[in-house]
Amino acid sequence: MINVLFFGPVVERTGSAALKIEFMPGMTLQILRDELAEKYPRAFEIVSLAAVNGQHVRDFSIPLIDNSEVTFMAKFSGG
Amino acid sequence: MINVLFFGPVVERTGSAALKIEFMPGMTLQILRDELAEKYPRAFEIVSLAAVNGQHVRDFSIPLIDNSEVTFMAKFSGG
Amino acid sequence: MKDAVRIQEEDFSQDEEITALKTSSQRMGGIATFLGCARDFSEGREVSRISFEAYGSMALSEMKQLRLDAIEKFKLLDARIVHRICTVTAGDNIVFIAAGAEHRAPALEACRYMIDELKERVPIWKKEITPEGDAWVSPHP
Amino acid sequence: MKDAVRIQEEDFSQDEEITALKTSSQRMGGIATFLGCARDFSEGREVSRISFEAYGSMALSEMKQLRLDAIEKFKLLDARIVHRICTVTAGDNIVFIAAGAEHRAPALEACRYMIDELKERVPIWKKEITPEGDAWVSPHP
C-alpha cells in the first residue's frame, strides 16, 4: 500500500486527508500523481510540490517503494 | 566662554573631561581645534570627530558662537 | 531547556529563547531575531483570525535541517526556530527565528536566510478567516 | 510605557520591548531585532568586563533621529533603540534594536541599517577591562 496524505488547501479539494492506494510494481511518483490527478482534478490544479517519506522530491520519475508515505502539496504559506 | 567636553579615550589623554576656553570674535572650530591640539597633542592624535551643541560638524571653518558646547571625539565604539 | 527547533500550539517568550540561545557560547556578540505576527489586514481584506496546518513530521525535520544549514553557512554559534500551529488573532506571534554569531553581520544575514528559506521549504499552510469566509493563502509566485 | 529610545544603566526585557512595539499597530507582520552582547574574547584577548561611556545628551538625540530616519526610509510602523551605559560582563546585553513593519523585508533591512548607523553616529565609547589592563576600543577603520 502507498499511504497518500493531503494537507490544508489540498484537503479542501480532495475531501479527505489520507488515502491508501494499492502498490503496483514499477509504480513511479508520476504514475501515482496522474492516477490521483484524474480522480481529484481540482485538487491537483494547486499541487506544486511532492514529498516521499517526508523528503522533498523534485524528480517524479523515481520509483516508489511499497508502504511509502507520499504527499502532494500546495505551495507553502507558513512563517 | 566655550565649554569644551572630552569623553572616553580622549579624556584618558587630556586628563580632564571639561575645559572652559575664552571666546574670541572670529573664532572658528578649526582655530579652537588647533589651540587645543597644541596643548594636548596625544589626545588629538585620536580625535576624528567634532560636535557643536550636540550636532555633528564636518566643516571646521564654521564660526563659533559664545557659550557653545564643543566636543572633540575619538571614533565611536558603541553598540 | 526547550529544544532549539519546535512546532507548538502555545505562545513563546523571546526572553526565554534568547537566554537559551546565549547558553551555547560566551563568544556571542550579535543576536538577530525575526518575529512573524498576525496582521489584521491582508491584501486589503480584514482578517479576523489565521489558522495554521502543518505536515508535522516533515515540517519539524525541515526546520531542524534549516537550522543546521544556517549554522554551517554563516558560522553561527547557535540558532533557534519556533513555529506555532494553532489559530491566532491580530498581534499574536506566529514564528520566531534567532541567530547568534560572534559578530553582527552573519547573525543578521542568517536570520534573513532562515525566514526566507522557511517559507520555501517547510510544509505549513495558512488559512485566513475573514468576515466574508475562510480562504487558504496562496503565496505570491 | 517606556520611551522608544533610551540610554539606561539597567538591563532590558525583549518581551517588554516587543510588546511595546506591537502596541503601535495591528498591521505589524514582521519584527526584526538585533541584540548586541558582551563577549568574553575580543581580537584574541580575554575580556573580563566592558564599560561604556556616552556623551549622553547627544547620544540620545542621535538615537532619536536615527529611529525617525529608519521609520521614514523603510516605512516602518515603529522602531525602538535601547543602549545600556554601564559595566557589563560576558553574555550581558548591551544594545537592543527593533524594527516593525507590515512585511519582513523592510523590518530586517531597517534593523541592519539602525545598528550599522548607530555605530557611526552615536557618541558612545567602549573600554575593555582585561586581566592585562584596560583599553578603549578603536573601531576598525
pLDDT in tens, D63-105: 999 999 999 999 999 999 999 999 999 999 999 999 999 999 9
- D51: domain CATH number? 3.90.1170.40
The partner residue sitting opposite D136, judged by closest CB among B5, B8, B55, is B8
**Is any Cβ of chain D less than 8 angstroms from the Cβ of B54?**
yes
Question: With contact defined as beta carbons under 8 Å apart, do D139 and D125 qualify?
Answer: no
pLDDT at C46: 82
Inter-chain contact A78–C125, Cβ cutoff 8 Å?
A: yes
Starting at the earlier edge strand, list the strands of the sheet with D87-89.
Answer: D87-89, D49-54, D124-130, D133-136
Touching partners of D (3+ C-beta pairs < 8 Å): B, C
Distances (CA, A) of D48 to B8, C7, D39, D84, D135: 19, 38, 9, 17, 12
Q: Which residues of B touch D139 (CB under 8 A)?
A: 75-77
> pTM for this one?
0.94
Q: Which residues of C touch A71 (CB under 8 A)?
A: 55, 58, 123
Tally of domains in chain D: 1
Inter-chain contact B8–D125, Cβ cutoff 8 Å?
A: yes
Distances (CA, A) of B13 to B20, B73, D7, D59, D118: 17, 12, 26, 22, 25
User: What percent of chain D is modeled with pLDDT above 70?
Assistant: 99
Tell me if D70 is assigned to some domain: yes
Secondary structure of residue D54 in the 3-state scheme: strand
Starting at the earlier edge strand, list the strands of the sheet with C78-84.
Answer: C5-8, C78-84, C93-101, C30-37, D30-37, D93-101, D78-84, D5-8
Which range among A43-52, C6-15, C24-33, D125-134 shows the weakest confidence by mean pLDDT? D125-134
Tell me if C52 is assigned to some domain: yes
Question: With contact defined as beta carbons under 8 Å apart, do D73 and D110 qualify?
Answer: yes
pLDDT at C17: 98
pLDDT at C81: 98
Inter-chain contact C125–A71, Cβ cutoff 8 Å?
A: no
Which residue of chain A has the CA closest to C114?
A79
Which string of DSSP letters, residue by residue, matches chain A? -EEEE--HHHHHHHS-SEEEE---TT-BHHHHHHHHHHH-HHHHHSEEEEEETTEEE--TTSBP-TT-EEEEEEPP---
Low pLDDT (below 50) residues in chain A: none
pLDDT at D138: 78
The partner residue sitting opposite D41, judged by closest CB among C15, C27, C32, is C27
Question: With contact defined as beta carbons under 8 Å apart, do D15 and D80 qualify?
Answer: no
Inter-chain contact C30–D37, Cβ cutoff 8 Å?
A: yes
Q: Could you list the residue range(s) of the whole structural domain that residue C47 is in?
A: 5-136
Q: Give the mutation candidate from C19, C31, C35, C140 for the D interface (greatest D CB count, under 10 A).
A: C35
- What string of pLDDT tens digits covers the 79 residues of chain B? 999 999 999 999 999 999 999 999 999 999 999 999 999 999 999 999 999 999 999 999 999 999 999 999 999 999 9
Inter-chain contact B78–D137, Cβ cutoff 8 Å?
A: no
pLDDT at D140: 59
**Res. D141: pLDDT tops 60:** no
Q: Which residues of B touch D127 (CB under 8 A)?
A: 8-9
Inter-chain contact B76–D125, Cβ cutoff 8 Å?
A: yes
Tell me if D129 is assigned to some domain: yes
Tell me if C72 is assigned to some domain: yes
* Residue partners of B39: CB distance under 8 A and separation at least 6: none
**Is any Cβ of chain D less than 8 angstroms from the Cβ of B73?**
yes
Inter-chain contact C31–D35, Cβ cutoff 8 Å?
A: yes
Inter-chain contact C37–D15, Cβ cutoff 8 Å?
A: no
- What residue ranges define each of the domains in chain A, with the CATH number in brackets? 2-73 (3.10.20.30)
**Res. C140: pLDDT tops 70:** no
Inter-chain contact B7–D59, Cβ cutoff 8 Å?
A: no
Tell me if C141 is assigned to some domain: no
Q: Which residues of C touch D115 (CB under 8 A)?
A: 104, 108
pLDDT at D40: 83
Question: With contact defined as beta carbons under 8 Å apart, do C49 and C88 qualify?
Answer: yes
Angle, nearest 10°, between helix axes C104-121 and C56-74?
Answer: 150
Which string of DSSP letters, residue by residue, matches B8-68? HHHHHHHS-SEEEE---TT-BHHHHHHHHHHH-HHHHHSEEEEEETTEEE--TTSBP-TT-
Extract the C-alpha cell encoding A37. 490527478
Most confident stretch, A48-62, C36-50, D41-55: A48-62
Tell me if D141 is assigned to some domain: no
Which residue of chain A has the CA closest to C65?
A55
Which residue of chain A has the CA closest to C55?
A7
Inter-chain contact D39–C27, Cβ cutoff 8 Å?
A: yes
